[in-house]
Amino acid sequence: MTTLRSGTSRKVSLLSSNGAPLLASVAVPMQKNEKEQVKGWLEAMQSSSPPRSLSGIDDEKNGISIKKLTKDQYEKWVVKHPSALHMFETIYKQARGKQIAVFLDYDGTLSPIVEDPDCAYMSNEMRTTVKEVAANFPTAIITGRRRDKVYEFVHLPELYYAGSHGMDIMGPAKGCNGYKADGLQAKDSKGNEVVLFQPASEYLSLMDEVCSILKERSKKFPGARVDHNKYCATLHFRCVSEEDWLALAQEVQTLLKAYPELTLTQGRKVLELRPAIEWHKGKALEFLIEALGLSDPSKVFPIYIGDDRTDEDAFQTLKKLGFSCSILVSTVSKDTCAAYSLQDPFEVMEFLQRLIRMKGSQKIYMCNQGSIL
């Protein structure tokens, strides 16, 4: 039986005696500091989501237009994090003579953010673009989603995929663009040879249990949705009334206390529970760079594009590496370690297409010079 301690004297069971999740939530009054913790999570979650005022509603508060305020803040912010399209020549000059490697988040980066996460499709034009990127550079998708789910959306077998915030990495056994990763040799569901790396595999049954409890607990909140992202339980707030957010987040807090093996992260209208191991998108990026033999900074130029707080770990990893290009996808000002910005997946596609064109023109130049790239 799993139990939790709330405060110093209360003890509440989360599982019934036969191990099944309890269907009803146990009402435990929140202590003041517990409430502040939950509020902090929600504030962090909101700060990583664009405000509604940008979606057409120009709220007026004390005579100040929130839309205008947000726009003014963005204009100041973008000076510090300039558009990667405007800075393309500079970025490409830094990359000249080096092997470019491309690492991409999925939601909000390759696909638009939508209310139903099952409908976050990427366009055919984006798929064609990513395919061409992979034909020119070693390429990986690093996402919070389940690896198999993101593969359903992207459907390009030539890429590396790091699902569950990098805790579930798989790539083609023959490698990507000539770069082959070391790892456990395995077969995918279609019998194809693949390489696998799963640093949190011992947490799989625990995550099944936690997702099951969280699904039951969130049922009483209309619009709440839990995705079992294999090594990560993702609770979506996007379609939940803001009046319910505090109580819903309290359910997460209750679970977190019951399972000290887990940790919490915030994203765009989501709270996520995952194994409290020293592993995240930044570690997955490091792993892939190392495994693909791309760790010599004098020869390699990694590019990472992402839109969320969980991508900050990858931006920090690149900052430590030195020569690299980190790009945050955002229409609003945000605290970020990323050097550059792009506004939306359309701009991401344009940036990737320019990379491909630049590589093509470099090939022609090198052939004219009598060299083989």
CA 241 from centroid of its chain's CA atoms: 24
Contact status: 105 vs Mg ion (CB under 5 A): yes
Contact status: 108 vs Mg ion (CB under 5 A): yes
Query: How far, in Å, are 98, 240, 286, 338, 346 from residue 296 at the CA level?
Result: 10, 47, 12, 21, 32
Contact status: 345 vs Mg ion (CB under 5 A): no
Q: Among residues 39, 41, 66, which one has the least CA distance to residue 54?
A: 66
Contact status: 227 vs Mg ion (CB under 5 A): no
Nearer to Mg ion, 67 or 236 (CB): 236
Nearer to Mg ion, 308 or 312 (CB): 308
Contact status: 107 vs Mg ion (CB under 5 A): yes
Query: Residues 87, 79: contact at Cβ < 8 Å?
Result: no
- In the complex, least distance from residue 107 CB atom to Mg ion, rounded to whole angstroms: 4
CA distance 307 to 321: 20
- In the complex, least distance from residue 113 CB atom to Mg ion, rounded to whole angstroms: 8
CA distance 139 to 157: 11
Nearer to Mg ion, 168 or 308 (CB): 308
- In the complex, least distance from residue 250 CB atom to Mg ion, rounded to whole angstroms: 26
CB atoms within 10 A of CB 222: 10
Contact status: 272 vs Mg ion (CB under 5 A): no
- In the complex, least distance from residue 164 CB atom to Mg ion, rounded to whole angstroms: 14
Residues 6+ apart with CB under 8 A from 173: 180, 185, 192, 193, 194, 195
Nearer to Mg ion, 171 or 306 (CB): 306
Nearer to Mg ion, 108 or 163 (CB): 108
CB atoms within 10 A of CB 303: 24
Span near Mg ion by CB under 5 A; candidates 104-112, 127-135, 282-290, 345-353: 104-112
At residue 40's C-alpha, the angle toward residues 46 and 345, to 5°, is 25
Contact status: 171 vs Mg ion (CB under 5 A): no
Residue span 52-91 as binding mask against Mg ion, x where in contact by CB under 5 A, dash where not: ----------------------------------------
Nearer to Mg ion, 228 or 268 (CB): 268
Please report the DSSP string for 288-334 in residue order. HHHHTT---TTTEEEEEEE-SGGGHHHHHHHHHHSS-EEEEE-SS--
- In the complex, least distance from residue 144 CB atom to Mg ion, rounded to whole angstroms: 7
Nearer to Mg ion, 136 or 330 (CB): 330
How many binding residues for Mg ion (CB under 5 A)? Answer: 5
CA contacts within 13 A on the Cβ side of 354: 15
CA distance 310 to 312: 5
Residue span 304-323 as binding mask against Mg ion, x where in contact by CB under 5 A, dash where not: ---xx---------------
Which residues lie across from 302 on neighbouring strands?
A: 101
- In the complex, least distance from residue 310 CB atom to Mg ion, rounded to whole angstroms: 7
Nearer to Mg ion, 227 or 307 (CB): 307
- In the complex, least distance from residue 105 CB atom to Mg ion, rounded to whole angstroms: 4
Residues that bind Mg ion (CB under 5 A): 105, 107-108, 307-308
